[in-house]
Structure 1
C-alpha cells in the first residue's frame, strides 16, 4: 500500500491559505445568519427541490430550510478534517520525500477551494429558496 510509505509532513499554513479558510468560514457563518434572520418571514411552505430549469417542483415546511446549512456545515467540517491528512490523498504522481511538500500543499489548497465552493453552492440554494 503506497499511502503508508508516504512521508508525514506537518504543513505550515500560509497567509493565502488562512485567507481562503477565513473566507469559507465567514461565508458559512453568513449563510447561517441569513437563514436565521429570514426564517420568521418565510411562508409555511417553501420549495425544497428545483428542476433543471430552476422551477420549484417540490415543497416542504419552512423548517426544511435548516437542512441546507446543516449539510453545508457537515461537509465543511468533513473537508476540514480530511485536509489534515494529505498523505492519504490520491495523487497522479508517486509521492517521494522530495516532492511530498509541494504535492501536499497543492492538494490541501484544492480542498480549501472546494470548501469555499461548497458553501457558495449551498448559499445559492438557500438564496433561491428564500427568494422564490
Structure 2
C-alpha cells in the first residue's frame, strides 16, 4: 500500500457518528447473542460438541463442550482490539497518500471500515455458536455453510466499498 509514514500524518480528533455508534452497539449485541445460548443450553449440551464442519455442513471434528466458549472469547478480543485501534486512525495503512487536505476524510473512512468489520465478524461468530448448538442438539441436520459464506462475501464487499471510497476521496 502507498502512503506516507504514520508519524508524518496529522493527528485529528474524530467524533463517532450516530451510524458508527449504532454499528458498535450491534457488534456488542452480537457478542451477547453468542454468549446467551451457551449459558441457556449448557446443561443439556453433551460433553463433546462439533467444532468443525465440512463443505456440506456436516460435523467432521469434535471436542469438549468447553470449546464452544472459543467463539465468544475470540469475538470479545476482536471487539476490544478493533475498538482500541480505531481510536488511532493516523497510524493505519491507507491505499492513498494521507495529506492535510484528505486526512479527515481518510481517517473517517478507515475508522468506519474497522467498525463495520468488527460488527460483521462478531455477528459471524454469534451465528457460528448458534449453529454449533443447533447441530449439537439435533435441531438442524447441518451447519449453514451458505450463510457463513454470505457473511464472508459481505466482509469482502465492505473492504471493496472502503477501497473505492478511499480512492475516490483521495
**Equivalent residue, structure 2, for 1:114:** 117
Q: What's the CA shift for 1:30?
A: 2.0
Runs of 4+ in 1 over 6 A off after TM superposition: none
Alignment of 1:23-62 (within 5 A): 23-62=26-65
Q: What's the CA shift for 1:10?
A: 1.1
d(CA) in 2 for partners of 1:27, 1:123: 6
d(CA) in 2 for partners of 1:24, 1:97: 32
Residues 36-65 of structure 1: CA deviation (Å, up to 9, x unaligned): 112112111110111222111111111111
**Equivalent residue, structure 2, for 1:77:** 80
1:6 matches 2:21: no
> What count of residue pairs does the alignment treat as equivalent?
132
- Higher-RCO chain (CA-CA 8 Å, sequence separation at least 6): 1
d(CA) in 2 for partners of 1:116, 1:105: 17
Residues 81-132 of structure 1: CA deviation (Å, up to 9, x unaligned): 1111111111111111111111011110111110111111111211121011
Q: What's the CA shift for 1:6?
A: 0.5
Structure 2 residues not aligned, in runs of 5+: 136-170
The TM-score with structure 2 as length reference comes to: 0.74
1:68 to 62, 67, 71: 71
d(CA) in 2 for partners of 1:116, 1:38: 24
Contact 2:82–2:118, Cα closer than 8 Å, also in 1: yes
Contact 2:30–2:122, Cα closer than 8 Å, also in 1: yes
